């Protein structure tokens, strides 16, 4: 799923200025590969429950919500807010589009009016690489 979402972000960003996806709160790599102008955060347990049932009974929602790591949620929201405005900048693909497992994919958003932007560089298959999402100023 991660590789497909990387490809979707790369592809949509050239044509659709406002789009988004969700990432898992507990998984930094997964969450960062899903970053975009609109960004949802989902705990693994709730995602798994949604995949099992079309409708989740209220008592199940109540039980699952008591197990959400709210500190991790707040950290994830803060990280997204740090870079969120940069997703409305100009989009520049830095690599060719590819979903091959042995390649990397990279893109940049840059806001010329502020001189700020964001570069995203991701491995296609491994979660062992360092991912740096840092706003930069030209």
pTM strictly above 0.75: no
Per-residue pLDDT tens, the chain, 138 aa: give them.
Answer: 566 667 777 777 888 878 777 777 777 877 777 888 888 888 877 777 777 777 778 888 888 888 888 898 899 889 888 888 998 999 999 988 877 777 788 889 899 999 888 888 877 665 544 455 555 555
Q: Provide the pairing of β-strand 20-24 with 38-42.
A: parallel
DSSP 56-96: --HHHHHHHHTT--HHHHHHHHHHHHHHGGGGGSEEEE-S-
CB 83 within 8 A of CB 135: yes
Q: Which residues of 40-65 are buried (b: 16+ CB within 10 A; e: fewer)?
A: ebbbeebeebeeeeeeeeeeeeeeee
Rounded distance between C-alpha atoms, residue 26 and residue 48, angstroms: 13
Indicate the helix (H) or strand (E) that contains 49: helix 44-52
């Amino acid at each position: 799923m991660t590789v497909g979402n990387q490809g979707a972000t790369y592809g949509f960003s050239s044509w659709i200025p406002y789009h988004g996806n969700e990432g898992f709160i507990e998984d930094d790599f997964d969450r960062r590969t899903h970053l975009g102008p609109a960004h949802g955060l989902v705990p693994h347990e709730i995602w798994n429950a949604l995949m099992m049932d079309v409708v989740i009974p209220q008592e199940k929602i109540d039980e699952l919500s008591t197990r959400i790591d709210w500190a991790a949620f707040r950290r994830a929201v803060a990280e997204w807010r740090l870079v969120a405005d940069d997703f409305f900048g100009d989009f520049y693909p830095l690599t060719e589009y590819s979903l091959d497992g042995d390649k990397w994919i990279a893109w940049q958003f840059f806001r010329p009016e502020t001189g700020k932007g964001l570069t995203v560089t991701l491995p296609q298959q491994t979660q062992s690489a360092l991912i740096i999402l840092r706003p930069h100023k030209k």
